[in-house]
Amino acid sequence: MRTTFVFLLVFITVGQSYSQYVRNVSGVGTTAAPFLEIEIGSRAIGMGGAFVAVADDATAIYWNPAGLSRLQKNEITVTHIEWLADINFDFAGGIFYLGNYGVIGVSLTSLSTTDMEVRTVDEPEGTGEMLSVGSMALGLSYAKNLTDKFSMGFNTKYIQEKIWHMSTSSFAIDFGTLFITPFNDIKIGMNISNFGTDMMLSGRDVMVYHDIDPTIMGNNELIEANLVTDNWPLPLTFRAGVAMDLLKSRNNRLTVAVDGVHPNDNTEYLNLGMEYVCNNIFSLRGGYSSLFKRDSEEGLTFGAGIQSNIGQAVLLKVDYAYTNFSRLGNTHRISLGMGF
């Protein structure tokens, strides 16, 4: 128990230091790989994104890797999102239970667009070329229970972004903790995500021809040179949340959760959510996302889910979530999960 509180104290201290460092910085639009901030899992989104202390399925890879240690069976999950502006976003993750050795996981996150025609000022109708934009993150996770009440977990990620002939890559880690208190089993979760190296685009689109000294007659005007692009940090995010069951019986459960979120590229905000599970089969969810976030377009979320056993060894899950983005439109998420 003493070790548990020491880890919690260290984690809280790191989070407070990070919060003070970026407290007065807005930072909107100043980070690379913003697709890493698109939240994963229809169940979690249906709860308004208040999931860092719940984190009890395979989507804990995103929300809080420490929650993976509470899973005692293998599980896979797949999520598809028809994101804003006709962007496709997909996530796939797999969890493998290793008994006393903990839990490992693998994940793949992908964002892509359809091919777009290249247009220039001189050729506004198109040059005949096509361009595409894509981002990808490949992750490896590990989590373990240090005590029956305290868990830790982390992710390592390789991140890549491409646009036309340009690309960049980075490595990052996530670190999370989960503590089950003795007070009605209230859970406290914390997570720091996307702590990694800066990203800088490079490729043939930065190649230019340069005359080193145009004042010299007959100097070579076709010397190849490369423009230097700037470095941009990853969207570092600190989350802390609390979750508890207001109702818990053999056939019914009502969970409420609150998350506080502090990103390095925006203002602090809260996510609120709740989930009602009936007969361990059907779920209804609701929440409010990005409360107090400056200039937020997000708001109410709703969701539902159903799960059923296939035979005696396989549990199939289907979840749906709706999010209102106000002037930007709405998004729909569908997730499929399987435990075995």
C-alpha–C-alpha distance, residues 145 and 100, integer Å: 9
**Res 8 pLDDT > 60:** no
Answer for the pair 179, 187: CB distance below 8 angstroms, yes or no: yes
All domains of the chain in start order, with CATH? 2-198+233-339 (2.40.160.60)
**Res 10 pLDDT > 50:** no
- 8-11 long-range contacts (CB < 8 A, ≥24 apart) are 8/150, 8/177, 8/179, 8/188, 8/190, 11/177, 11/190
3-state secondary structure of 258: strand
Beta bridge pairs of residue 107:
93, 139
Sequence letter at residue 73: K
Number of H helices, E strands in the chain: 3, 19
Q: What is the pLDDT of residues 141-152, one digit of tens each?
A: 999 999 999 999
C-alpha–C-alpha distance, residues 120 and 124, integer Å: 5
Mean pLDDT along residues 14-24: 47
Q: Which residues have CB under 8 Å from 115's CB, separation 6+?
A: 130, 131, 132
**Res 238 pLDDT > 60:** yes
Q: What is the pLDDT of residues 66-109, one digit of tens each?
A: 999 999 899 999 998 888 777 889 999 999 999 999 999 999 99
